[in-house]
Structure 1
Amino acid sequence: MSVPGPLIQIDQLSKRFDKGALAALDSVTAHVNAGEVTGLVGPDGAGKTTLLRLIAGLLVPSTGKITVNGLDPVTDSGAVHRIVSYMPQRFGLYEDLSVQENLTLYADLRSVLGSDREEAFERLLGFTGLAPFTNRLAGALSGGMKQKLGLACALIKKPDLLLLDEPSVGVDPISRRELWRMVYELVDQGIGVVWSTAYLDEAEQCARVLLLNEGALLYAGSPQDLTDRVAGRTYQIRHIDTDRREVLSEATKLATVIDGVIQGSRVRLVMAEGADPPNLAPLNAGLAAEISQIPPRFEDAFMDLIGGGFRATSPFADREDSAAHTMNQVVEARALTRRFGDFTAADKISFEVGRGEIFGLIGPNGAGKSTTFKMLCGLLQPSEGSARVVGLDLQNAPSKARGRIGYMAQKFSLYGDLSVQQNLDFFAGVYGLTGKSRKDAISQMIETFGFADRLDVNAMGLPLGYKQRLALACAVMHDPDVLFLDEPTSGVDPRTRREFWTHINAMVANGVTIMVTTHFLDEAEYCDRMALIYRSKMIASGSPDELKDRARASGMMDPTLEDAFIALVEQSDREREAA
């Protein structure tokens, strides 16, 4: 039975895990309504998961109070657990159990029995599209299918409140849209949903947002109301006939520019309140360049709220090492194929990547892009075809080729129990640096990224921005010709993402080649070219604008890169069915 008023009421809520430590949540007051999606928005470490666990009764507040449908999650925990379903960030699945076995386990845990159980299984398998995969192990599912199974397990008993902790991290755009469709079907049934996310574009799909940063609530209300605060202050520079990365760098040095990002061949800017758009001549955008006003996004308003984007010049911009990277074709994939038994994960994929180019691999979960990526950086042997880096065949000269490669894995691949200094020492050894060159490289990374006062801090204790800097330092200290980036900014806040790409753009200017995989297609806009992998094949390639043009040709007026991604995949499916 529901009670009058908000579904969740939060009053002056704080949570500290250690005495004297910074609060994970600090005096948060907010509410959540039934029958709508409330976005819990903010970067890693903002306090989103802590708040969800407090709502679910899994943590006890330090101070303040929460009620869920009039119930206290601490003193009325049993009643709260009966009306709340919680889907944790890491799926909460048992990967060595099948889809059906996971559903059966959750039905047992929630005491769903008899005909109610059978009805729930049939309804949820149809709702998620998992009916054909009931015997498949959860560990063998793609990221999107895991998320759907996690959602099904959370819904085994219909709740009043559904808590979703970053359900779209690591999920491709198609699966992400499917998840949103399913969630809005639940909202139509009167269920209240709290959707936690680090992706600010998802905030625009919520009825209300709670915007957290470092444990503090920065904003609560309609996403459109916050977006409207920067109306008339967002611009796009088009028809740039020089280096768009250089134009962005020059623009963000202006005091009147709050934020700037690359969008394909264009540059998007957010201006300070009352400021006129910049004069293009000093930005060296070319004679054909023009600037025009465009509608604002929620992310523009967020950047304005926190005081703007990353402004400093990257230390890599001052390094004069471009002469070390002179080969024209740095990465070559020739009919790359990889089979696992009877299954072909990558099928005859071919492309070349030039010096100082950013090349992206995009595609749905399970499409084959990660397999291709691993073959190109020497982590996986091809079944057929060849992969070459700076002219070296990864099969015939793997150690030499790997010495010319830098690799930054998702979640940064750092050793959390080692200090900053120990991580730098370890990775210097991994990349074969010895003697004076090793000492000089480590000293340069310490100076470049400002680690001097944190050398004794364990990596797991670093703020997220420093973790990312350390991971990048470990990947580039040996001055690689090509840097492989695997989902490099997953879950990080927009300002940290901008800092990261400032460093990458500076490295590219010095001749370093970048290979990147990402599901976050705003990030893919930084690529010069990309390959779209689907059903193990490369179905499209080109610049971000060229892929958008292909979607525009099919009837879309002004498609985003995500729109183009989905349109090209759907077109491939139609052609496959016709064949």
Structure 2
Amino acid sequence: MATKLHRQFDVKGRAPVVALDDLSISVPAGSLTALVGPDGSGKTTLLRLAAGLLLPDSGALQVLGIDVAKDPQAVQDRISYMPQRFGLYEDLSVQENLDLYSDLHGVSHAVRRERYARLLEMTDLARFTSRLAGKLSGGMKQKLGLACTLVRSPELLLLDEPTVGVDPLSRRELWEIVQQLVDAEHLSVIVSTAYLDEAERCAQVFVMRESRLVAEGTPAQIRDNAKDLCFVARPKEGTHARTLQARLLDAPEAVIDAVPEGGEVRFIRRPEVDASAIESLLDGAQVQPAPARLEDGFMVLLRTQQSAPQAAKSSATTAVASVPAADKQEVVIEVKDLVRKFDDFVAVASTSFNVRRGEIFGLLGPNGAGKTTTFRMLCGLLPASSGFLQVAGVNLRHARAQARAKIGYVSQKFALYGNLTVSENLSFFGGAYGLRGKRLAERMRAVVQEFELAGQEDATSGQLPGGFKQRLAMATSLLHEPEILFLDEPTSGTDPLARREFWRRITALAEAGVTIIITTHFMEEAEYCDRIVIQDAGKLLAIGTPHEVRSRAGTQAANMEDAFIGIVEQAREKTRAAPQEAMA
């Protein structure tokens, strides 16, 4: 229980940042509780306070009936906490990591035997106990992190965005593990998450924004904020769902939210707006009412907190892109029989596809599927073992540096210089791209305006909030007006508000002729793509438009996440069956 909890952080050369502002909440025991909200809303700070890792500046906080400020060790002896970046020892094996954390928590050898067996069974890591943690896929690392967190049986489990950067299959498995613990051990769990479908699983949801509590209640109560306001529109023939979505988002006076889904567009009408006022925006699309979801209620709550309706950014066509008009059928990336090996391990096996000018092309796959390796080869960051790879008319096997001058790149992790200011980063990378003098100054002004970085120019980049870091990374990648933009899980861990804004910019860039290659674990984002590839175990499993991929997965695939899981599981089942058939 927290009462008027206040916590702020001092930032050198700037005003203190308020992380929690008179926050009061009460969390029920023995159930799943979710903390949701935009980046910088205070979720992580609240969890760290509850874990006794920070002290409040004022207010009271009790965990399991203990005053955390007075006796943090007593709390830590009864809880387990898994931060966003859990500290696995990558040069130790799975078993050695479990043993290390058991030693740290004083878990007896008698208890370990039974606990390990249960954790390894739940996480499906029993086959990998001798594998180094550094050699595990992202999803397996998260499951090992959870197992290490649970080597002792806590009364309260704190999870800070445990599924960030994790594919849908691994996400589902992680949540099955957590639900088992709640059901079997009556464990209390508080989880912060950027996935609203995850929060929908919880008994209680707290919605936070700008260090304050905006709303609390059951998922049904949060959903009710969008009751009778949700609709699904099927675009007329020849209109891409993202085009209709952009038109709706650009009318914030009438529409609260819009997102592509299954070839259609799900949108929320403002309650004070008559349905007839939206007809011109729909441009002949067929519309049906839809039941509200937790994410809909969340978006209504956050949009109504804004002082005035704001349109998503769409000026990228003029501010940051000046790709010459070109034939949209022109192939700008060509891949034939691409192979990448690491010693005897085949990371990418004989992959072939092409990407056209102005296309949004998605690379999807489970953690460890080979998509990041493919992505890095396309960027010229990693040489291919064999095969043909041409980007922007340049053969990457012979002239990687020449090709890199025509591309922009945004990595999953913040890869700029954290000790430099925003302006210093822009100036440095602009110079690396060959921009000088007046031209560099013009481009810096353009991207600062487009990505709303004005006023942050002198801020140290490493101390920026997550959303501003993402904007700076995008601004830097577009300084030299590249023909092709590579985005490696750019929205990992970001909230729905930030994702809508990000994709409105990407849609505008594609309309301007910039070719977009993106990897993502948010399956809703695959709906923005013109075409997608699904990979697993280094092999290409499916390629086509989102509609074609959903159709391939069968009638049971109601959305892209269902299609993704279905295609991957079918392929894995065939792989498992092949050796048995050969032996028969």
Q: Structure 2 length as normaliser, TM-score?
A: 0.92
Stretch moving more, 431-440 or 538-547: 431-440
Q: Aligned residue for 2:44?
A: 49
Deviation at 1:280, TM superposition (A): 6.9
Pairing 1:315–2:282 present: no
Q: Is the 8 A contact 2:231 2:288 kept in 1?
A: yes
Q: Aligned residue for 1:182?
A: 177
Deviation at 1:176, TM superposition (A): 0.5
The code of the aligned residue for 1:314 comes to S
The correspondence for 2:248, drawn from 247, 251, 258, is 251
Deviation at 1:466, TM superposition (A): 2.9
The code of the aligned residue for 1:567 comes to G
Give 1:273-292 correspondences, 5 Å limit: 273-277=271-275, 282-283=280-281, 285=283, 289-292=285-288
The 2-side partners of 1:124 and 1:365 are apart by: 20
The 2-side partners of 1:405 and 1:533 are apart by: 23
The 1-side partners of 2:388 and 2:562 are apart by: 32
Q: Aligned residue for 1:227?
A: 223
Deviation at 1:111, TM superposition (A): 1.2
Deviation at 1:421, TM superposition (A): 1.2
Q: Is the 8 A contact 2:33 2:205 kept in 1?
A: yes
The 2-side partners of 1:521 and 1:91 are apart by: 25
Deviation at 1:279, TM superposition (A): 6.2
The correspondence for 1:159, drawn from 154, 157, 163, is 154
Deviation at 1:310, TM superposition (A): 5.2
Q: Is the 8 A contact 1:87 1:154 kept in 2?
A: yes
The correspondence for 1:201, drawn from 197, 201, 222, is 197
Deviation at 1:373, TM superposition (A): 0.5
The 2-side partners of 1:482 and 1:281 are apart by: 35
Give 1:72-151 correspondences, 5 Å limit: 72-151=67-146
Deviation at 1:196, TM superposition (A): 1.3
Note closer, same or farther for the CA distance 1:325–1:488 as it changes in structure 2 (3 Å cut): farther
The 1-side partners of 2:458 and 2:577 are apart by: 61
Q: Deviations over 1:35-82 (max 9, x none)?
A: 211011123322112111111111111111122221122323333222
3-state SS of 1:268 partner: strand
The code of the aligned residue for 1:429 comes to G
Stretch moving more, 19-28 or 382-391: 19-28
The code of the aligned residue for 2:225 comes to R
Identity value in percent: 49
Deviation at 1:569, TM superposition (A): 0.9
The code of the aligned residue for 1:466 comes to F
Pairing 1:12–2:4 present: yes
Deviation at 1:222, TM superposition (A): 0.6
The code of the aligned residue for 1:321 comes to S
Q: Aligned residue for 1:4?
A: none
Deviation at 1:219, TM superposition (A): 1.4
The 1-side partners of 2:414 and 2:147 are apart by: 30
The 1-side partners of 2:61 and 2:454 are apart by: 42
Stretch moving more, 451-460 or 337-346: 451-460
Stretch moving more, 169-178 or 442-451: 442-451
Q: Aligned residue for 2:537?
A: 535
Pairing 1:297–2:298 present: no
Q: Structure 1 length as normaliser, TM-score?
A: 0.93
Q: Is the 8 A contact 1:551 1:559 kept in 2?
A: no
Deviation at 1:387, TM superposition (A): 1.6
Q: Aligned residue for 1:350?
A: 352
Q: Which runs of 5+ in 1 are unaligned?
A: 1-8
Q: Is the 8 A contact 2:35 2:208 kept in 1?
A: yes
Q: Deviations over 1:313-361 (max 9, x none)?
A: 5222346834255571011111111000111001011111111110000
The 2-side partners of 1:278 and 1:508 are apart by: 31
Deviation at 1:550, TM superposition (A): 2.7
Q: Is the 8 A contact 1:325 1:481 kept in 2?
A: no
Q: Is the 8 A contact 1:330 1:481 kept in 2?
A: no
Q: Is the 8 A contact 1:162 1:194 kept in 2?
A: yes
Deviation at 1:368, TM superposition (A): 0.5
Stretch moving more, 411-420 or 335-344: 411-420
Deviation at 1:290, TM superposition (A): 0.8
The correspondence for 1:485, drawn from 474, 480, 487, is 487
Stretch moving more, 97-106 or 510-519: 97-106
The 2-side partners of 1:325 and 1:461 are apart by: 40
RMSD between aligned alpha carbons?
2.0
Q: Aligned residue for 1:548?
A: 550
Q: Aligned residue for 1:424?
A: 426
The code of the aligned residue for 1:252 comes to L
The 2-side partners of 1:325 and 1:476 are apart by: 19
Give 1:364-513 correspondences, 5 Å limit: 364-513=366-515
The code of the aligned residue for 1:192 comes to S
Q: Is the 8 A contact 1:280 1:290 kept in 2?
A: no
The 2-side partners of 1:284 and 1:82 are apart by: 57
The code of the aligned residue for 1:256 comes to A
Note closer, same or farther for the CA distance 1:447–1:214 as it changes in structure 2 (3 Å cut): closer
Pairing 1:575–2:570 present: no
Pairing 1:562–2:554 present: no
Q: Deviations over 1:280-322 (max 9, x none)?
A: 7633745xx3111112222221111112685145222346834
3-state SS of 1:17 partner: strand
The 2-side partners of 1:452 and 1:41 are apart by: 28
Q: Aligned residue for 2:581?
A: none
The code of the aligned residue for 2:417 comes to Y
3-state SS of 1:248 partner: helix
Q: Is the 8 A contact 1:243 1:285 kept in 2?
A: no
Q: Which runs of 5+ in 2 are unaligned?
A: 579-584
3-state SS of 1:306 partner: helix
Q: Aligned residue for 1:272?
A: 270
3-state SS of 1:546 partner: helix
The 2-side partners of 1:244 and 1:116 are apart by: 54
Note closer, same or farther for the CA distance 1:67–1:282 as it changes in structure 2 (3 Å cut): same
The code of the aligned residue for 2:303 comes to G
Q: Aligned residue for 2:582?
A: none
Note closer, same or farther for the CA distance 1:549–1:447 as it changes in structure 2 (3 Å cut): same
Deviation at 1:127, TM superposition (A): 2.2
3-state SS of 1:515 partner: strand
| Number of matched pairs | 566
The code of the aligned residue for 2:76 comes to H
Stretch moving more, 120-129 or 189-198: 120-129
The 2-side partners of 1:285 and 1:352 are apart by: 32
3-state SS of 1:323 partner: coil
The code of the aligned residue for 1:156 comes to V
Pairing 1:36–2:38 present: no
The code of the aligned residue for 2:244 comes to V
Q: Aligned residue for 1:214?
A: 210
Q: Is the 8 A contact 1:310 1:498 kept in 2?
A: no
The 2-side partners of 1:278 and 1:45 are apart by: 37
